[in-house]
Amino acid sequence: WFSDVEVAAAIEVFALTQSYNEDQHPQKVNLGVGAYRTDEGKPWVLPVVRTVESQMASDQTLNHEYLPVAGSPDFRTASTRLLLGEQSPAILGSRCDSVQAVGGTGALRIGMDFLRSRLGFETIYVSSPTWGKSTSVITVITFMSAGNHKNIAKALGYNIKEYRYWDAAARKFDVDGMIEDLRNAPEKSVVILHMCAHNPTGIDPSHDEWKMLAQVIREKGIFPFFDCAYQGFSSGILEKDPWAIRYFISEGFEVFGAQSFSKNFGLYNERVGNLVFVTKDPESVLKVRSQMMMVVRTTWSNSPAHGCRVVATVLNNPALFAEWKENVKTMADRILLMRQQLHDKLRALGVPGNWDHIVRQTGMFSYTGLNPRQVAHLVKEYHIYLLKSGRINMCALTMKNIDYVANAIQDAVTN
Ligand code: PLP
């Protein structure tokens, strides 16, 4: 049965880390990794998470029973409140609910599955580029990944289309291109919108641009599905980052929001996600939840409990919540500092080109604008690993390696 199975394409970001791990060069840098790093280049367990986990370790009332199919009610309610805001018209009007998911990926998966299988949506629009899309720079391994939004949509039989997003020449958001592409959307289309801190470009629409997008999405009857993987990482302020989804709700849209707590809680391997849905009336909430539970039941049946307990404990306790906000700000501030440092160093070195986009972008990632040849140069000559698209993780930069990286970029750009 198995001898004719084709080897699947490697997943770039993980293959890159493997190459980095195998590299013995003393100054090697992994700018490709998709997770937060401290200034010592280490993963960070948030102090508030440590506190809660140590309390949980001695809590004799906790057990390993299955969670309900829809997930932990404490977690779902608190997460929905975090995303939509306490005073959300959807919460006050009982027009929303959520289903716990296995990370943000799981939330995207069950949301897309529901729209396809229960409502017959056929076409899905993803940004160009989007999360996970790239090709390898490591010459020994050639691979191509279509991007995870696309991969999920493909598995569900969607017709996949891209909307223009990144204007490579101007290194900014291509609002006109996106609007034009959405204007051509066929009936029964879904659009995946990155709520904030767009991965991989780090560029988000302005409030006015979101308003223009909402207009075309309404005119065309497209379903807006927000990917909310980075709440807190864009501005450092949890209340500010969900502006776009809250705006759509205030304008009367029915929406989905796929939440991930991988980044803002640093709970990457605990797989904590939540799919929030907002409907036009309370009756629809019950219908959607019941169908969504069927989707969950046939996909992973029950969600894991540990990570969601941590998140629910923090979100439901004012003192812990205040501490978490500070932890999120610590991460966001460090990223901002690295943006500023890299920008200033490239300018001080007189590296040709305009590097202002690095400080205009937000979130964990920067689309540097480095081309594949320059990226290959960095890998080969300097042992600096990054995605072929030129995307770098800002917090993989540290006060120790930033000069090395800036000098290497100068060499790559000028040679
Ligand atoms: N959406 C975007 C834009 C992401 O960048 C990621 C993770 O990198 C996810 C979703 C998935 O998050 P999770 O790891 O929680 O599945």
**pLDDT tens per residue, range 21-76:** 999 999 999 999 889 999 999 999 999 999 999 999 999 999 999 999 999 999 99
Calculate how far, in angstroms, residue 365's C-alpha sits from the geometric centre of ligand 1: 13
Q: Could you give the CA distance from residue 136 to residue 372 in angstroms, rounded to a whole number?
A: 9
Q: Is 131 one of the catalytic residues? A: yes
The CA distances from residue 54 to 50, 138, 198, 205, 356, in Å, are: 6, 41, 34, 40, 43
Q: Is the CB of 132 under 6 A from ligand 1?
A: no
CA atoms within 13 A on the CB side of 314: 28
Would you call 281 a catalytic residue per the annotation?
no
pLDDT tens per residue across span 349-400: 999 999 999 999 999 999 999 999 999 999 999 999 999 989 999 999 999 9
**Domain map of the chain by residue range?**
12-46+326-414, 73-320
For a ligand 1 pocket test, name from 199, 234, 241 the mutation site with the most ligand atoms within 8 angstroms of its C-beta: 199
Say how many CA atoms lie within 13 Å of 415 toward its Cβ: 12
Say yes or no to pLDDT of 205 above 50.
Answer: yes
**Nearest C-alpha neighbor of 328 from the set 42, 32, 47:** 47
260, 107 Cβ separation under 8 angstroms: yes
pLDDT category of residue 147 using cuts at 50, 70 and 90: confident
- Whether the Cβ atoms of residue 113 and residue 288 lie closer than 8 Å to each other: no
Of 169 and 48, the structure prediction assigns the larger pLDDT to 48
Ligand 1 centroid to Cα of residue 260, in Å, is: 7
Closest-lying ligand 1 atom to the alpha carbon of residue 194: 3
| Selection from 402, 232, 243, 250 nearest residue 332 by Cα | 232
- Class at the top of the CATH hierarchy for domain 12-46+326-414: alpha beta
Query: Quick check: 139 pLDDT over 70?
Result: no
Residue pLDDT, tens place only, 375-384: 999 999 999 9
Q: What is the pLDDT of residue 144?
A: 37
257 lines ligand 1 (CB under 6 A): no
For residues 204 and 362, the answer to whether their CB atoms sit within 8 Å is yes
Residue 103 CB–ligand 1 contact under 6 Å: yes
Quick check: 384 and 405 in contact, CB under 8 A? yes
The helix (run of H) or strand (run of E) holding residue 61 is: none
Looking at domain 73-320, its CATH class is alpha beta
> Ligand 1, from 260, 267, 364, 389: best to mutate by most atoms within 8 Å of Cβ?
260
Which pLDDT score, from 0 to 100, does residue 136 have? Answer: 40
Q: Is 263 a catalytic residue?
A: yes
Beta strands in 105-222 (DSSP E): 123-128, 133-135, 144-146, 159-164, 166-167, 172-173, 189-194
CA distance 352 to 356: 12
**Overall average pLDDT of the 96-120 stretch:** 98
**Treating both helix axes as pointing N-terminal to C-terminal, what angle do 47-57 and 318-348 enclose, rounded to 10 degrees?**
150
H or E stretch at 201: none
Four-CA torsion 348, 353, 356, 360, nearest 10 degrees = -140
Helix (H) or strand (E) run with residue 1 in it: none
Which residue among 263, 324, 345, 388 is the active-site one? 263
Task: Evaluate: CB of 273 within 6 angstroms of ligand 1.
Answer: yes
pLDDT in tens, 262-303: 999 999 999 999 999 999 999 999 999 999 999 999 999 999
Asked whether 274 lines ligand 1 (CB < 6 A), one says no
Q: What is the mean pLDDT of the segment spanning 134-144?
A: 38
Q: Would you state the pLDDT for residue 213?
A: 98
Q: Is the CB of 129 under 6 A from ligand 1?
A: no
Q: What's the CA-to-centroid distance between 267 and ligand 1, angstroms?
A: 12
Residue 26 pLDDT: 95
The arithmetic mean of pLDDT across residues 136-163, rounded, is: 73
Find the distance separating the first CA and the last CA of the chain, reported in whole Å. Answer: 50
Tokens describing residue 91:
């919460």
The overall average pLDDT reported for the chain is 94
For residue 133, the model assigns a pLDDT of 53
CA of 94 to the centre of ligand 1 (A): 28
ipTM rounded to 2 decimals: 0.99
Is the pLDDT confidence value at 180 over 70? yes
- The finding on whether 202 has its CB within 6 A of some atom of ligand 1 is no
Ligand 1 centre from 218 Cα, in Å?
26
